[in-house]
Structure formats: structure tokens, C-alpha cells
Amino acid sequence: MYNYSDQSTFPARCSCLLFLTKAQRMVHKADLVIIGITVGLAVGIVIASLVFFGIRWYKKRAHLRRCANDRSASTLPIRRNGLNTSIDSSASFSSSVTMNGSDQPVQKPQHSWWNNHSKDPFASASGIPRYPYKDIQKGTQNFTTILGQGSFGPVYKATMPAGEVVAVKVLASDSKQGEREFQTEVSLLARLHHRNLVNLVGYCVEKGQRMLVYEYMSNGSLENLLYNDEKQVLTWEDRLQIALDISHGIEYLHDGAVPPVIHRDLKSANILLDRFMRAKVADFGLSKEEVFDGHNSGLKGTYGYIDPVYISTNNFTTKSDVYSFGIILFELITAIHPHQNLMEYVNLASMSPDGVDEIIDTKMADTCSTEEVRNLAKIAHRCLHKIPRKRPLIGEVSQAIVKIKQQRRRLVKEDTMSFIGDDLSRAVSRIECQQVELRRLASMEERQNE
């Protein structure tokens, strides 16, 4: 028989099954939504964390960079290049003249380089080769081949294993001043490359020593050649070329480097000469990039070469370098050291148009062109103008010196052509005389034969 009770409950059972199926689907969808929200939150947290740590890393790196700039800006001078020279007679102006509020305290690192010998701060940053201590020790014959001495430390001549001859400047272990200069020179010369800048070929940070390895400049410093070397006399042509070489080196620092670099210690002792008598600017321990860093690093330089405006305002600019170069130009003309009242002689000579003729270096007075000397003196006077903005740019100075050399070449060429022309005319005259003599002899023979 057919069960009516079962038939009456069938629709209800079907409804329950459908409801349960829908409920299960809804629960499944809710689970998916929850999973999606959870994954989204996790991804958002990861992204937010990456952004947060990225910002912190960027700020920390910017802070370290500012600290590095502050340390390199707050440097003290290397008084001497030391190559082929004796102890420098130049005195640090910063040690004898002080101004209220001129020196700002510099934050010192927690760990000194001397107490952290295992770490090399330039190994990955500078790109300059690091020399082993034992190679330098052997190349200097156990540090006996001394070339000179300065406040930075002694300078030695070294022959390295590959055969190259270099100059090694050793930082005295108790010199905190030199330690800052060491940092400045390596950081600057790692990116400054020009034929008229002394090339830093390497360094050494080992056994508590800091050493800078430079190309060897066989003719020493300009100061030594002008004042101490009695055997070798610089000709006027040499001096004119040296002036041009120095101006090109400074021009690269001011106009070619980014950011521009102010040398701040230009002097004849910091101009070195290679075996071809080509000049190169040296000693960048005092140099500073021309960027505002919020720090006043105080008066630095060498007495006799410092811009008077810098002394009164404590503001050193590229025009201050131009002033120092003007002093060097007068040294080339007169061979009078700034410590021997050079500017008094220059001021007296400037009272007459040809006054500079009276102070020309006697070693070259008979061989130089007085017109060229006067032209170079005019350039030097412009560099020494009391108002910095009226001083020429170093690029303009270079062009003016080039014009003097071009005029010199033209005069030499004209003299050569004139000499050749005179020789030619004399030779033609001799030939004509010989021809006349031959005709006379021929006519005499004809008469005798008749």
C-alpha cells in the first residue's frame, strides 16, 4: 500500500535540504571573504613595513652623508707638500689669528680611526688602490728615503714592486689635524682627475698608520726652485708655462668639478713640477667643496697668501683662490717670497707703468721679454684687487696668459722668418758676387788667349 504519511512529509524534507545547501554555500562564501580580507591585510602590512623601513634607511643614509660632509668641511691645513724641500717656514694662519665665534665644535665619531684599525672606510667608497704596508716599507728602505717634513708628517720617496717611483706622505700617529686632512684628500682626489693636479695613486691604512701615495714629482716644489735651488734657474718661458699650468689646475677645481672645489691653500710650496717642468697643484687637505653646510670652519691658510677680505669676513670663495694665485704670479716674476715683504715691493712698483721692471728676478732679467713681464704683472694686479667681485674669474686669467704665450710664439716665428730671410738674402748676395767674380775671371782668360 502507498504510505500517505511519507508523501505528506516529502516537500518539507526537500525544503530542508535546499536550505542546508544554501547555508553551506553562504558559509563557504563567507570563508572566502574572510580569507581574502586576511590576505589583503597581510599584504598591506608587508607593503607598509617595506615603505617604513625604506624611509628610515633613506633618512639614515642622508644623515650619514651630511655627517661625512661636515667632517670633510671642518679640516685644518697641511702646511707643506714636503717633496724635495726642507721644513716649511710657512705658519698656519689659523694658529696665530682667531676670531670670536669663528670655530664651531665638530662632532667627533665615537670610535677613532686609530682605535679601529681593522676597518677601512675607503675600501669600497674611494676606488683608490690600497697599498700593503710591507710594500711601502720596502720601497722606502724602511722609511729612510725622506724627501721632506711637514706638519702632516714626513714624505718619502719609494720604489714599489712594479717599479714605479712614488712619493709617500705619512701621517704622524698623534696628529688629529692630519687625520682630518687625510680624509679630505682621499675623498676629494678620488673624484678629481686633471693633468695639472697631483695624482693620488693609492693609500695605506695599516698598523696604526695612515699614508697617502702620490705620483713622484722629480723637480720638487716651485718654492724650492725659486728660492733654494742655486743650480737650476727657471727661464722666463718656464715660468710662463708654470703660470698657465697652475691656472688650468685651478680652473678645473672651480669650473670643472661638481660641486666646485676651493683649494684654500694655494702657494708656491704646493705647486709641484714633474721631470718635464710641468706644474701641478698639490695638497688638498684644506680644500672644501663650495656648498653651504651650515658650519663655519674658521680661518685657514698660509700667511702671505690669504685674501685680506677672507681675514675680515671669514668668507672664503673662489675669488680668494684667485687672490692667492696673484701672489704666486708675482713670485714667478720677482722670486721674492711673501714673507720677505713681496707686497711692499709690488705696491711700490705699481706707482709707475714700468715699475715692475725694477723688481724682475735678476736671474732672468737679461733673457726675458719686459713687455711680456709687464702683461703678466697686469694680470696679477687684477687678481689682487681689493674688491673680490672685480677680480677676474680663473678662466679669464687662463685666457689672458694664453694670449701672452701666443704673442710670444708669433714674435718668435717672425724673428725666425726674419732670420731666415736675412740668411737667404746674404746667400743670394754671395752667389751674385761669385758669379761676377767668375765672369771677371772668364774675361781675363779670354784676353790672355787672344
3-state SS, one letter per residue, for the chain: CCCHHHHHHHHHHHHHHHHHHHHHHHHHHHHHHHHHHHHHHHHHHHHHHHHHHHHHHHHHHHHHHHHHHHHHHCCCCCCCCCCCCCCCCCCEHHHHCCCCCCCCCCCCCCCCHHHCCCCCCCCCCCCCCECCHHHHHHHCCCCCCEEEECCCCEEEEEECCCCCEEEEEEECCCCHHHHHHHHHHHHHHCCCCCCCECCEEEEEEECCEEEEEEECCCCCEHHHHHHCCCCCCCCHHHHHHHHHHHHHHHHHHHHHCCCCEECCCCCHHHEEECCCCCEEECCCCCCEECCCCCCCCCCCCECCCCCHHHHHHCCCCHHHHHHHHHHHHHHHHHCCCHHHCHHHHHHHHCCCCCHHHHHCCCCCCCCCCHHHHHHHHHHHHHHCCCCHHHCCCHHHHHHHHHHHHHHHHHHHHHHHHHHHHHHHHHHHHHHHHHHHHHHHHHHHHHHHHC
Give me the catalytic one of 265, 283, 307, 321: 265
Nearest 5°: CA angle at 149, between 183 and 317? 50
- Residue 70 designated active-site: no
Q: Report the amino acid identity of residue 185.
A: E
Strands 146-149 and 261-262: unpaired
In this structure, what is the dihedral angle of CA atoms 20, 23, 25, 30, given to the nearest 10 degrees?
A: -160
HSE, side-chain direction, 13 A CA sphere, residue 40: 6
- Where b means 16+ CB within 10 Å and e means fewer, 212-229 reads bbbbbbbbbbbbbbbbee
Residues acting as catalytic residues: 265
